[in-house]
A and B are shown apart, each in its own frame.
Chain A
């Protein structure tokens, strides 16, 4: 797994929210269903994964869709999930994964011992 901490793979110059996660951290995607333009797919909400890399901070698309500036920018991560955790009937190999870009405000830290 590639480790790019701190500045993000593609640093941007927007005023941004500080990063809360580092590669390897276990996180849960918030299981919530707000209205609007949401870039967090439904199929991954509520699932537990691991931060694969920090991509940089980008204007929040939920705000951009409302014609606002989306600032401060939200840290964006690639989060890696085991397919067998995501789909109860998954028929592939146990180590198959799906990586998804998810903004920080959709992620909750998974404390030690809270492993799903």
Chain B
């Protein structure tokens, strides 16, 4: 790993890292934000993870009325569960035996961060963004997800103010499971639509 000259672990900032540092320092210097406020926001984003989304899915699996509310107005349903989802306008789309759903943002990387945390690198890749809209079945197979030939695929391109989450189907064999146990099998990828929950 070491180069001819011993450079240790030093790595120069990338273009975008340098831009971020410069902008942040200028905003702090001019009193627009404080270093503490920036750190608190970064920490808040880091602490959000797919466990929150999994909790929402598990509740929808055990409570038909909650599921109805969730599909009708995702944000209000999350708030009713006591989940803090600032600035999120959530559209929840339900997988059925007839329809499998998958989400993408072809223009950038819009993602329901309030429920799933930071998006995975592949979600932001040009490869995923350009191909899943055009050949979803092939892309899902690359994720190891084979959609039955009789099932339609609905792709949802998140281009503006809505954010999307897939409500996966509850697997057979979980009929007597409680919510916490159900939530544990709901993965991030199953709420994006590139996987399904497995036992």
Contacts and interface: CB of A to CB of B under 8 A. Distances in A.
B153 interface: yes
Interface of B: 71-73, 75, 89, 91, 106-107, 133-137, 149, 151-162
Contacts of A96: 136, 152-155
Interface of A: 2, 9-10, 39-41, 43, 55-56, 58, 61, 76, 78, 83, 87, 90-93, 95-103
Of the listed residues B106, B151, B161, the one surrounded by the most CB atoms of chain A closer than 10 A to its CB is B161
Nearest to B136: A92
Nearest to B98: A95
Contacts of A90: 134
A42 B89 CA distance: 24
B166 to A, nearest CB: 13
A2 B71 CA distance: 9
B160 A41 contact: no
Given A93-B152, A93-B153, A98-B154, A55 B162 contact: yes
B112 to A, nearest CB: 14
5 contacts: A41-B159, A43-B106, A91-B137, A92-B153, A101-B162
